[in-house]
Every structure is written in structure tokens, then in C-alpha cells.
Amino acid sequence: MAVTDIKLVRKKASVSDFGRNLIFVYREMNFPLTDETGAVRLTSEIGADGNPIPEYYDFVVSVAIPSPMPTTVAFRKAMLNDLKAQADVQAKLIAQKRANDIVDKNKISNIVKLLNDDTGVVFEGTFDVTGL
């Protein structure tokens, strides 16, 4: 069983248009985005080392705000902490699925490469075509 570290950054939170959902934006920092050639996509932002920063995968998690809203500040803070924890759990699951998909894609790419290394004639012979 292979394992990998996943680093998630919660970027921001907002409220949906109808005000019944909290929208959290996360950034998964382990696997930079790549172009069709496999090269890492870079942003126009310059890092501390003077090089462009890689582009990472951002995704959204939505959690429903309960109704009716709690009436006291303490209960509202507790509710927000609970909603944030729910979003964090969902974000971890999304990041784990993406990491698994990337590993699977790499395995499949290797299999396809091996198959393409072994091309050539797979049959040569005669057929009886009288029934056609």
C-alpha cells in the first residue's frame, strides 16, 4: 500500500447567493497542475527564491448553514466551528480522491507505455471465407 502526504490550505470562505451555504475554497499543495506535455504549469507570481510559483489545484466545498440560526454569539461561533470542521473533512476526502486518481493515472500511463513498446503483427494466417 502506497501512501502520500497531502497538504491542504483553506484559502477563503464566503456565503452563497441565497445565504444558506458556506462556501470554502481549498488549495491542494502536493501535486502542481501540468500541461498536456506533462510540464508543471507556472503562475506569474514570483516566489521567495525568485522563480515562478507552480499552479496548484483549487476546489470548493459547500456546507449547509442550519436553520434557524443559533440566537447567541457563543452558539453561532460553535456552529461556525462545526461547519468549518465539516468542510475540512470533505476537503480531505476530495484531496485523497485526487491523489488516488493521479497515482492511478501514472500507473495506467506506464502500462500504456509498455503496451506501446510491444507493438507489431499479432496475427498472420489464412481464413476460410466461404461462409461470408
Instruction: Choose among 87, 69, 85, 78: nearest CA to 24.
Output: 87
Q: What is the pLDDT of residues 58-106, one digit of tens each?
A: 999 999 988 888 899 999 999 999 999 999 999 999 998 888 888 888 8
Q: What percent of the chain has pLDDT over 90?
A: 39
Instruction: Choose among 28, 24, 34: nearest CA to 6.
Output: 28
DSSP string, 31-70: S--B-TTSPBPEEEEE-TTSSEEEP-EEEEEEEEPPSSPP
17-20's contacts with Cβ under 8 Å and 24+ in sequence apart are 19/65, 20/64, 20/65, 20/67
Specify the pLDDT at position 77: 93
